[in-house]
Amino acid sequence: MSGQQLLLQLDRVYCRDETGGKYVERAGNDEISLAGVGIDATGKTVMLSPFTVYNNFDDRETKKFSPVKTLLTLNVPDGGTFPKTCIGVLFLAEIDQGGFKDFVQKAYTKITEEVAAKKQQGMGRSLALSSIAVGLIWAEVKPSVTKYIKGLIAAGIRDDVFPSQEVSLEIPSADFYWGDGTKLSPEVTVEFREHGGVYNLTYYWEIRTV
């Protein structure tokens, strides 16, 4: 398939505050795992399986990835209309007694099924699948997906899962460059806050021609 690939590149994760509060923090350190689900410009989903970011986080400690770690690789074909949008949903957890891997698999399955069903509905109405359609698809399924994910967490996962964070990028053309003339976006930081802990994840997008 000709076109581009959009890579979500993880540069670093910063622990502003360990989970558990000041008394619990004295007893140990955070083992942080990250996972996610991506939706490319065609509506195809991909899963980032859980991996250990760092297994011994203290307050004000940073895990720097060198080289950067690719979290998601999403396809952006040349055909069709622009702009085209890609989406990522990121999950972060402090690993305790298990459950995060199963949680991620269920979340991935839910997102895949919801997006595929909406995509099929659009094709049944003879609507061309463009980036706008993908964005609309996600906007329609996001409420039910969010409710489902919150339900999984509320049902009792032994690992401490943070509320998910969404990242996305709209690519305006097949030959798009950022203002400085590169295929690398500026850095963006998202915050995960829950369980008495705060983590900042810094990433950027990279566009590659394939």
Mean predicted confidence (pLDDT) in 183-196: 96
Q: How confident is the model at residue 132 (pLDDT cuts 50, 70, 90)?
A: low
pLDDT of 128 higher than 90: no
Strands (E), the chain: 3-17, 30-39, 45-57, 61-77, 84-94, 160-161, 165-171, 188-194, 197-209
36, 48 contact by CB (below 8 A): yes
Q: pLDDT tens-digit profile of 12-66?
A: 999 999 998 654 445 568 999 999 999 999 999 999 999 999 999 999 999 999 9
pLDDT tens digit sequence for 144-161: 999 999 999 888 889 999
Rounded to whole angstroms, the Cα distance separating 105 from 144 reads 17
Check residue 25 and give its pLDDT: 47
Please give the average per-residue pLDDT across 192-204, as a whole number: 96
Nearest by Cα to 91 from 140, 157, 20? 157
Return the closest-CA partner of residue 201 out of 157, 193, 209.
193
Q: What pLDDT, on a 0 to 100 scale, did the predictor assign at position 43?
A: 93
Using the structure block, give the residue that is written with the tokens 């997906």.
Answer: 145
Q: What tens digit of pLDDT does each residue of 102-124 get?
A: 999 999 999 999 999 998 887 55
Q: Which of 140, 158, 29, 124 is nearest to 87 (CA)?
A: 140
- Please answer whether residues 92 and 28 qualify as being in contact, where contact means their C-beta atoms are separated by less than 8 angstroms: no
Number of H helices, E strands in the chain: 3, 9
- What are the tokens at 66? 């060198």
Name the 3-class secondary structure at 96.
coil
Neighbour tally for 59: CB within 10 Å: 14
Domains and CATH numbers, the chain: 3-209 (2.60.40.150)
